[in-house]
Amino acid sequence: MSDVLVIGASAAGLATAEALRRRGFGGTVRLVGAEPHPPYDRPPLSKQVLLGDWEADRTVLRPPGALADLGIETTLGRRAVSLDTARREVALDDGTSLPYGDLVLATGLTPRRIGAFAEQAGVHTVRTLEDTGRLRAELAGARRLSVIGGGVLGCEIAASARRLGLDVTVIDPAPVPMADRVGPEIGAMLAELHRDHGIVLMSGAEAEAPVVSGGRIAGVRTSKGTVEADVVVVAVGSTPATEWLEGSGLTLDDGVVCDARCRAARHVYAVGDVARWWHEEQGRYVRLENRSNATEQALAVAGNILGADRPYLPVPYFWTDQHGVRMQVLGRPAEADRIRMVERTPDPRKFVAVAEAGERPVGVVGWNSARGLRRARALLTDGSRPH
């Protein structure tokens, strides 16, 4: 019996287990993860690891023994297959069952696939270390990469592959990259950045079917014509890893649906990319897919397990690195109707912009400007309360 059982041994699960200990929790804590690796960081997978600048080991989040030193038991390479909330038990894929006092669901996401592309040799998705290893190996012998999807991940992979010397095309139905995250104006700047670095943006195009030759991918047929490719990456978003919770009685709807305290049911919490919780100030359910949320929400969940009884009210934040530009995004700039530059420098590739809906700031974007972003953050928090 674990007093707290955490399913999912990555950023959010790890942070929850550690936060419990840091706050003095003395009960038993067990972290269970489907991957064979100790918890590792995903952001470098599409950047430093794909580029070959980092060995895979460098992504590991804690040195060996650190979790054991905190009295956190780990079970790796084991997948949870079902949950019985009445008996308070999780069944694993080896036939064993783990009883719990409180349960934390931290199972993250699974990349979305496109049916016709799914089983083709030379087609990749990127979520794990193994995915990145396979992609990197194939890029080494390739000349042309097509990336289906111009979101954050697609853009990062495109930028990394370009630096590795490939001819890269990004195929996306939207007019500019990452518009759903940063809005059309910043998206247009990003498009220019990619074009300046020699990436072909096939915007407004739908990927329709793979072109296959000799049992391998040879290109992508799109609504705007065919692109030749030796390797294809499908980066069209991900779905919350909740299949194993079907029939558990939890509400599953684009994630594990939780109340304002990230509680999905009595003694069950969700955290990180998989959690969709009621944001009390926005008056709607929110699910965030970013690294800082994994840590911040973990602190909130650990606090609530220990009786803090506080709603989770973060200011969303993510960063992305593309072609030497670090873009940092606070709030929800895509919901703005205009962008106002608040800090400009002589270097056009260094600025801070505030995204406003009417008169109200809803987001801040920093472009190679970490300090400026920190200054502008106050616009979103109105002193202490996040919008």
Ligand X SMILES: Cc1cc2nc3c(=O)[nH]c(=O)nc-3n(C[C@H](O)[C@H](O)[C@H](O)COP(=O)(O)OP(=O)(O)OC[C@H]3O[C@@H](n4cnc5c(N)ncnc54)[C@H](O)[C@@H]3O)c2cc1C
CA distance 29 to 103: 10
Chosen residue from 28, 62, 319, 349 binding ligand X by CB under 6 A: 319
CA distance 229 to 217: 7
**With CB under 6 A as the contact rule, which of the stretches 246-254, 313-321, 333-341, 359-367 interacts with ligand X?**
313-321
Per CB under 6 A, 104 contacts ligand X:
no
Least distance CB 8 / ligand X (angstroms): 3
Residue with smaller CB distance to ligand X, 135 or 202: 135
Binding pattern to ligand X, positions 354-373, x when CB under 6 A?
--------------------
Least distance CB 110 / ligand X (angstroms): 8
CA distance 320 to 155: 9
DSSP β-bridge partners for residue 89: 84, 99
Backbone angles phi, psi at 111, to 5 degrees: -60, 140
Ranges of beta strands (E only) in 66-176 are 72-76, 80-84, 89-92, 97-105, 109-111, 123-124, 144-148, 167-172
Contact 333, 366 (CB under 8 A): no
Per CB under 6 A, 106 contacts ligand X:
yes
CA distance 207 to 205: 7
Residue 338 neighbours by CB distance under 10 Å: 12
**With CB under 6 A as the contact rule, which of the stretches 22-30, 210-218, 266-274, 348-356 interacts with ligand X?**
266-274
Per CB under 6 A, 127 contacts ligand X:
yes
Chosen residue from 139, 193, 202, 241 binding ligand X by CB under 6 A: 241
Chosen residue from 160, 320, 322, 328 binding ligand X by CB under 6 A: 320
Both tokens of 327, joined, read: 């873009």
Q: Residue 50: left if φ>0, alpha if ψ -120 to 50, beta else—which one?
A: alpha
Both tokens of 85, joined, read: 């909330």
Contact 332, 315 (CB under 8 A): no
Report the site for ligand X in 157-196 (rule: CB under 6 A): none
Both tokens of 295, joined, read: 């840590």
* Total interface residues for ligand X by CB under 6 A: 37
Least distance CB 51 / ligand X (angstroms): 12
Distance from the Cα of residue 219 to its chain's centroid: 27
Per CB under 6 A, 79 contacts ligand X:
yes
Least distance CB 218 / ligand X (angstroms): 25
**With CB under 6 A as the contact rule, which of the stretches 166-174, 217-225, 268-276, 302-310 interacts with ligand X?**
268-276
Chosen residue from 6, 19, 104, 109 binding ligand X by CB under 6 A: 109
Per CB under 6 A, 289 contacts ligand X:
yes
DSSP β-bridge partners for residue 83: 90
CA distance 372 to 350: 10
Chosen residue from 2, 4, 5, 10 binding ligand X by CB under 6 A: 10
Chosen residue from 291, 304, 332, 365 binding ligand X by CB under 6 A: 291
Chosen residue from 13, 149, 331, 363 binding ligand X by CB under 6 A: 13
Chosen residue from 123, 153, 202, 270 binding ligand X by CB under 6 A: 153
Per CB under 6 A, 18 contacts ligand X:
no
Direct distance between the N- and C-terminal alpha carbons of the chain, in angstroms, rounded to an integer? 40
Per the document, the length of the chain is: 387
Helix (H) or strand (E) holding 196: helix 179-196
Q: Which of 65, 67, 58, 82 shows the shortest CA–CA distance to 7?
A: 82
Binding pattern to ligand X, positions 20-39, x when CB under 6 A?
------------xxxx----
Per CB under 6 A, 75 contacts ligand X:
no
DSSP β-bridge partners for residue 147: 170, 233
Per CB under 6 A, 255 contacts ligand X:
no
The residues binding ligand X (CB under 6 A) are 7-13, 32-35, 42-43, 45-46, 79-80, 106-109, 126-127, 153, 241, 244, 272-274, 289-292, 294, 318-320
